[in-house]
Every structure is written in structure tokens, then in C-alpha cells.
Amino acid sequence: MNATVSVSKSRSPNSSSQIRWRGYGEYFNVFPRDFYYLGRVAEGETSALFSILERSDNPNIRKPRHFVVKRSWRGEVSNLEDDIKLDKEIDVVHRLRGAPRIAQPVYLNPNPLRKLSRSYLIVEFVENGTLKEFYDRVIDEEMPLPNRVLCGFFFCLLIGDHNPLDGEHILTPTLKLIDFGAVYDAEDPGKDIGIKTNIYDIGRIMRILMTLDDEWDPAPEDVTVEIGGMQRTFATAVASLHPASEWPNLDPDLITIVLCCQAVDVDNRPSLEQLMHALDHQATTKNHTWYRRQMFPTWRTERTKDINLMINELIYYP
């Protein structure tokens, strides 16, 4: 899967906006041999996305691309804030070009939009929906995810330098990040506050996937867990997963990792290196045989063939 971690509020377009968006197709209709305009596919608080397909019968194209164009909502009398966010996103996407888990920019020749006076962003179309759509589907189906699937998604959310086809990665589709309008450069790159904040947010997504409860910010509570042979007590937003004995289908070690990721005090959260080490251990030592020997009641769902069936049902062919 190419999914996204971005969660946007929907916006109801009025009739004038529908006319304005429909007009964007005219730019691509000028090049009928090159492009096929599919229409508007998504809308957020500050922008809208339009889907375009390169025509496969064009002999100059080796592999047709499916891409989207992002434009801000700003009208003639609106302020520039939306355009500023889009300009920031354009800069970030180009800076991260080539990263395997970032939606990639697309360059067109001919470019039907080259004469537009305002900014636009062209990126690859990310198939199979967003991460939010995925966990909404999991919650609706009341289908607990196997621990090996959870571990695979955990890896992808970290956007590490691991080969996506190594180990548990082969079980879960790749996640791709989009929507960088709120990104900013840290004032002090020497500090890892941004990393610690990202780890907290990753823990939030993992909590939702593990508990099938999409409450965004539950009240934190104190928990006491064993970490490195020592008992530690700290406040965490994942207290609903404690004690682990109440979640017999979930790996207690995976629960502990998520408890620490959503610790209120940043000093109780793992570093990126510690988190990667813990997940590496999970992926390399715990296959379906391990879960069977540990007598997990749901060990059969940890088998690769069963995981493939679940992924097909929830992601590829929902």
C-alpha cells in the first residue's frame, strides 16, 4: 500500500468552487494525446487535489503515470496563508525527493500548468487510500491486526533506512507520507524534540491500530512496566493497553514499546535508535512459530498466508 499519515478535514465545495475546479481540466485537455483529466479527488481545509493520467497510447511515454495536482483554495479576495502553506509543501517535497516513503514530485513535459500565476504541486498518485481510511476500516470490521502486521506498520511509520522488502516489511504494504504544509525546520537541530514529538504521534497511530479505538487524545494515566529488568512508572496516553494481560492477542513487548512512545514526559520516550533496535528484535525473533509456542490464542493469524489474505481484504480489495 502507498498510504498517507495525513488526516484532513473535509470541506464542502460551493457551486462557484465546483466551476473553478472543473476549469482546471481545460489545461490538460489542451494536450489530449498526453493527458486524461480524471477530476477532483480530495479536498482539505486549505487545498484541493485533482487526478490526471498520462495516456498509455502515447509512444513517447514508457510507463504512464498517475499523478495529482494540488492547488490552494485561495480566491481573489482571500488571504495568502493557503498559498504560503502550499509553497512550503512544494519546498519540502523537492528537498525530500528520492526518499522511498515520501510521495514523489512529478515533472511534466509538456506542462499544461506552466503559465499559471499561482503555485501548484504535482506529485505521484498514492494508491489504496490513506492510513486513516485503513484504520477506520479495521475498526468498522472489528478485525484485530496480527502482531507481525503491527510491527511492519510500525517500521514504515518510522521511515527508517531499512529495505522495505526485508523481514516483516514484506508482509505489509509501504506507507508514504504526504501533506507537508505544517512542516517547519527546528530552531535547534541539535535537539531531538521534533523526533520525540514524531515518536509520540507514531505511538498514537499504533495505539489506534492496536486498540481499535480512534480516540485521538485520551487522558494520560500512570502505568508501571518492566523495562530493561527495572520497574518504571510514568504517565502515558496508552494506559488503556495496560495491563497487557487484558489484551491476550497483543504481544506484551509491543505494548510496552507503544506505552513508552506515548509517554507524557519526553525523557521517558525512546530515542529513534532505541525504537529501531526494539522493533528489529520484534521482527527478527517473533514469527508465527514463536507466537504458537507462546500459546497466543490468535497465533494462526500470524501466519504469512493469513496475513496476506487480511491485507488483500483490508487494503488492496476492500
Residue ranges of alpha helices (H) inside the chain are 15-29, 81-95, 131-141, 147-158, 193-211, 252-261, 272-285, 288-293, 304-311
Question: Taking the alpha carbons of 160, 165, 167, 168 in that order, is the dihedral positive or negative?
Answer: positive
Q: What is the pLDDT of residue 293?
A: 96
pLDDT, tens digit, 9 for 90 and up, residues 93-136? 988 888 877 889 999 888 988 887 778 899 998 887 778 888 88
Choice between 273 and 258, residue whose per-residue pLDDT is larger: 258
Residue indicated by cell numbers 521534533: 194
Q: What is the pLDDT of residue 79?
A: 54
Q: What is the pLDDT of residue 19?
A: 39
Q: What is the pLDDT of residue 5?
A: 37
Length of the chain: 318
Q: What is the pLDDT of residue 34?
A: 87
Under the banding of pLDDT at 50, 70 and 90, the label for residue 24 is low
Check residue 316 and report its DSSP letter: I
Choice between 163 and 175, residue whose per-residue pLDDT is larger: 175
Domains annotated for the chain, with CATH where assigned, are 15-124 (3.30.200.20), 131-316 (1.10.510)
- What grid cell was written down for 59? 509512444
Is 4 a residue whose pLDDT tops 80? no
pLDDT, the chain, mean: 81
Q: What is the pLDDT of residue 16?
A: 42
Q: What is the pLDDT of residue 291?
A: 96
CA distance 174 to 272: 19
Residue type, 288: H
pTM for the full predicted model = 0.75
Q: What is the pLDDT of residue 228?
A: 85
